[in-house]
């Protein structure tokens, strides 16, 4: 731990196989690095992997917001710094910053909300007082802009089935449920089914050297998914601007019908040569406007 309360919790590099069709670090792998960072940070207060294994208790992620501020490309060197930024009631919040180690540039920032969980009963339980005190003694100031509220869809009118598969054994984390990064892999795939509806098809992207670049994910985890659970993702287009668009995803346990997670994804129409946002063609924007979903009223 540094003198200012922040800890370096990850150091590594961007592997070639972690880059997507748009030639940059895939968002799911950002979240994988943050998962590593969370375990390292929690270990400093006695709530890391050994606690989960030996005491069958753990802090489990229930919500996260990720903002992507600069691209990372193949072979870039990266490191993360993490700190506890809140402990209100039974919710522990941590902040994580991912940097380009070569330039020192901040590339992404994440806030993570967690609740203490009994891994055998599979339910939330009160946090032990010593753990709470250890976390509270380590609180740091989060110096990034506050998370912005994104209105959810009023209902699923206009949503489509955008993903369907099962949870694989290798997708399970130390807590016995599907790792956060594998939610993100699936939402990224679902996103492409949504934008293809208004013309951002794989053929269009390849032929015009265009990509979809996510700059924000906001999500809540509602129910666990475990090995063999069947997944259904329903997604809808919530916003389209000059170059930006927002998609909402809802992931269900297809067997029980329970909502497992819901995520909002904001991204831009990216010029792959200039590596900058570019305007969505007018005809495409008009088609997108026809399939926009209605947002719920604030506070609904």
pLDDT along the chain (300 residues), means of 10: 82 97 96 97 96 96 97 97 95 98 98 97 96 96 91 94 98 96 97 97 97 96 97 98 97 98 97 97 97 79
Give the Cβ contact number of residue 104 at 10 Å.
8
Q: What is the CATH T-level fold of the domain 1-147, as seen in this structure?
A: Thiol Ester Dehydrase; Chain A (3.10.129)
Q: How far apart are CA 5 and CA 121, in angstroms?
A: 34
Ranges assigned E (strand) in the chain: 7-13, 57-68, 77-88, 91-100, 106-118, 123-124, 160-166, 210-221, 230-240, 244-253, 259-271, 276-277
276 CB-near residues (< 8 Å, 6+ apart)? 270
Q: What is the pLDDT of residue 296?
A: 86
Which segments of the chain belong to CATH 3.10.129.10?
A: 1-147, 149-300
pLDDT value at position 1? 58
Q: How far is 3 from 23, CA to CA, in rounded Å? A: 37
Contact by Cβ (8 Å): 48, 40: yes
Partners of 117 in beta bridges: 58, 124
Q: Domain spanning 149-300: which CATH class is it, in words?
A: alpha beta
pTM of the model: 0.94
Helix/strand number for the chain, H first, E second: 6, 12
């Amino acid at each position: 731990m540094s003198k200012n309360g922040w800890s370096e919790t990850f150091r590594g590099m961007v592997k070639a196989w972690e880059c997507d069709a748009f030639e940059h670090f895939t968002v799911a792998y950002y979240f994988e690095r943050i998962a590593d960072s969370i375990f390292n940070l929690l270990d400093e207060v006695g709530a890391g992997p050994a606690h989960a294994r030996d005491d069958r208790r753990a802090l489990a992620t229930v919500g996260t917001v990720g903002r992507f501020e600069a691209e990372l490309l193949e072979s870039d060197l990266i490191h993360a710094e993490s700190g506890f930024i809140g402990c209100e009631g039974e919710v522990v919040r941590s902040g994580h910053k991912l940097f380009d180690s070569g330039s020192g540039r901040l590339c992404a920032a994440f806030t993570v909300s967690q609740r203490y969980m009994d891994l055998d009963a599979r339910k939330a339980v009160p946090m032990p007082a010593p753990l709470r005190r250890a976390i509270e003694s380590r609180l740091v100031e989060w110096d990034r802009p506050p998370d912005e509220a994104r209105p959810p869809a009023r209902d699923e009118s206009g949503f489509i089935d955008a993903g369907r598969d099962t949870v694989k054994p290798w997708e399970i984390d130390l807590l016995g449920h599907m790792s956060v990064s594998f939610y993100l892999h699936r939402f990224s795939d679902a996103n492409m089914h949504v934008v293809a509806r208004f013309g951002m098809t794989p053929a269009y992207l390849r032929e015009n050297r265009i990509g979809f670049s996510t700059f924000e994910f906001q999500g809540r985890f509602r129910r666990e998914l475990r090995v063999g659970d069947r997944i259904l993702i329903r997604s809808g287009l919530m916003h389209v601007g000059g170059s930006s668009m927002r998609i909402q995803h809802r992931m269900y346990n297809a067997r029980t019908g329970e909502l497992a997670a819901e995520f909002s994804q904001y991204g831009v129409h990216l010029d792959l040569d200039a590596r900058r946002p570019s305007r969505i063609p007018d005809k495409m924007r008009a088609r997108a406007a026809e399939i926009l979903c209605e947002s719920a009223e604030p506070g609904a």
